[in-house]
Amino acid sequence: MRKLKLQVQTTVDGYMAGPNGEMDWMKFPWTDDIGAYIDALTKPVDCIVLGRKLAEGFIPAWKSEPEGESQESIDWMNNTPKVVISDSLTESPWDNAVVAGGDLTEAINALKARPGGDIVVYGGSTLVSNLIAANLIDELHLFVNPTAIGTGLPVFPATGANQPFRLVGAHPFECGITAMHYEPERA
């Protein structure tokens, strides 16, 4: 079965964005060591999962071939098939993307059961929280930026239950970000 990997930028205090979606706290420019880590993380990936709100900015941004990104990264982001999780869309307005709606657990488990490589989830916050709450993520890759913002959109949902994780590895990078790789402890 394919693995569902979460790759998300976060603050030290656990937010993936400010209260209004601000991401000005993210540490840039990235150094070569973090780029190599992300390349290794995404090498077995052949599908990207996005929430609708994130997809509306993410897909067009990469299609515009953003300045400062390598052509290899641009090509990978544009050529890798995408699944947009949405209950408001019935079909995709984007090239190389399909829409999946309905029950999240059923949609993700069906995607994981298909043949292929690993799947990476980039967000947005509602999708990430729902995937974590439903225990659907197989690997968490939290890129912790050395900033606290005090409030915002949390990575982890308030489920009222403990969610134990096992630390697989921690990788500090020259730019100040630390990648924390966790796996859920499942019974």
pTM for this prediction: 0.94
Contact 172, 39 (CB under 8 A): no
Q: How many domains does one find in the chain?
A: 1
CATH number reported for the structural domain that contains residue 53 in this entry: 3.40.430.10
Tell me the per-residue pLDDT of 10-66, one tens digit each, with 9 for 90 and over.
999 999 999 998 999 998 888 899 999 999 999 999 999 999 999 999 999 999 999
CA distances 55 to 39, 60, 86, 129, Å, are: 21, 8, 10, 16
Domain range for residue 153? 4-184
For 59, the enclosing helix (H) or strand (E) is helix 52-63
Tell me the per-residue pLDDT of 95-119, one tens digit each, with 9 for 90 and over.
999 999 999 999 999 999 999 999 9
Pick the closest to residue 83 from 134, 113, 121 (CA basis).
121
Query: Does pLDDT of 187 surpass 80?
Result: no
The token pair at 111 is 């995607």
